[in-house]
Amino acid sequence: MELLQTIERRSSIRNFKNENVPVEDLKELVRRGGLAPSVNNYQPWKFYVVTNKEVLSKMAVKVSERIKQLPSNKSIASKNVKSQVEWFATFFENAPAVIAMAMEDYESVLEKGVDLSHDEINKMRNFPDIQSAGAAIQNILLSAVDMGYGACWLSAPMMAKVDLEKILFIESPYHLIAFVAVGKAVRELEPKSKKSLDEIFKLID
Ligand SMILES: Cc1cc2nc3c(=O)[nH]c(=O)nc-3n(C[C@H](O)[C@H](O)[C@H](O)COP(=O)(O)O)c2cc1C
């Protein structure tokens, strides 16, 4: 598929057909993710791909539990907000596959020469580690469209990061960053409307 068409057709897909994604396709998605740019080409990522239904369901239970534990404020909306967020954080359990991205910390060259902590430098550089992760995830999302799949990026489940890392056997120095749910879409969705070019383009000539 043409790149432009792929970019224009992509939309977050959250409802999937009950159809397995072949491992070869999952590998190809991850391979393309790994081609993304990363700060200093450090390629911090590792992708844990889950197709096992029981494991997915165990993961979703942990996310639900975590959301229920969040302190509610006094608003009437509180309960609704939580159940809405719960759906967006757990629908991945019904996806044929979930690609969990983990990452190790980026040690900047600066760390060897200045008296600032890793976290301080990372913040000062506007989180190049997370920016790198985003590039890889976008590669996966676009590749999913290109290969006839639907996909959705998820950060909400990270609320239960510690429990999820245990379930997925993700160990230090790696830590969980995000999920991508993948599968055949139940139906093609119209891409969401986006801001106009006028709103987002500023030329400094
Ligand atoms: C960093 C990031 C985190 C996201 N986390 C979630 C999530 O946890 N659950 C979810 O359903 N969608 C999540 N999304 C998908 C967005 O809701 C979606 O991209 C947005 O509504 C725009 O819709 P579109 O992707 O169809 O253009 C996330 C997207 C991004 C970029």
Tens digits of per-residue pLDDT, 145-200?
999 999 999 999 999 999 999 999 999 999 999 999 999 999 988 999 999 999 99
The predicted pLDDT at position 2 comes to 94
The predicted pLDDT at position 177 comes to 98
Structural contact between residues 183 and 193, judged by C-beta atoms closer than 8 angstroms: no
CA of 11 to the centre of ligand 1 (A): 9
CA of 155 to the centre of ligand 1 (A): 8
Atom in ligand 1 nearest the alpha carbon of residue 14: 11
- What is the tens place of the pLDDT at every residue in 58-68? 999 999 999 99
With the C-alpha atoms ordered 59, 96, 151, 40, is the resulting torsion angle positive or negative? positive
Q: Is the pLDDT of residue 109 over 90?
A: no
With b for 16 or more beta-carbon neighbours within 10 A and e for fewer, the 3-22 pattern comes to eeebeebbbebbebeeeebe
Q: Is the pLDDT of residue 1 over 80?
A: no
The predicted pLDDT at position 75 comes to 86
CA of 153 to the centre of ligand 1 (A): 6
Atom in ligand 1 nearest the alpha carbon of residue 157: 8
Structural contact between residues 72 and 82, judged by C-beta atoms closer than 8 angstroms: yes
The predicted pLDDT at position 77 comes to 85
Distance CA 69, CA 73 (A): 12
Take atom 25 of ligand 1 and give the residue whose Cα is closest. Answer: 12
Q: Which superfamily does CATH assign the domain made up of 3-200 to? A: NADH Oxidase (3.40.109.10)
With the C-alpha atoms ordered 87, 90, 95, 97, is the resulting torsion angle positive or negative? positive
Take atom 6 of ligand 1 and give the residue whose Cα is closest. Answer: 154
Distance CA 91, CA 87 (A): 6
Atom in ligand 1 nearest the alpha carbon of residue 156: 8
- Give the mean pLDDT of 115-125: 91
Take atom 17 of ligand 1 and give the residue whose Cα is closest. Answer: 12
Q: Is the pLDDT of residue 53 over 80?
A: yes
Structural contact between residues 99 and 47, judged by C-beta atoms closer than 8 angstroms: yes
Of 182, 176, 171, the residue nearest 130 (C-alpha): 176
DSSP state of 93: G
* Backbone Cα Rg of the chain: 19
How many CB atoms sit inside 10 A of residue 90's CB?
Answer: 22
Pocket of ligand 1 (CB under 6 A): 11-12, 14, 88-89, 152-156, 192
Our mutation pick for probing the ligand 1 site, out of 139, 152, 179, counting the most ligand atoms within 8 A of Cβ, is 152
Structural contact between residues 49 and 25, judged by C-beta atoms closer than 8 angstroms: no
Give the domain ranges of the chain: 3-200
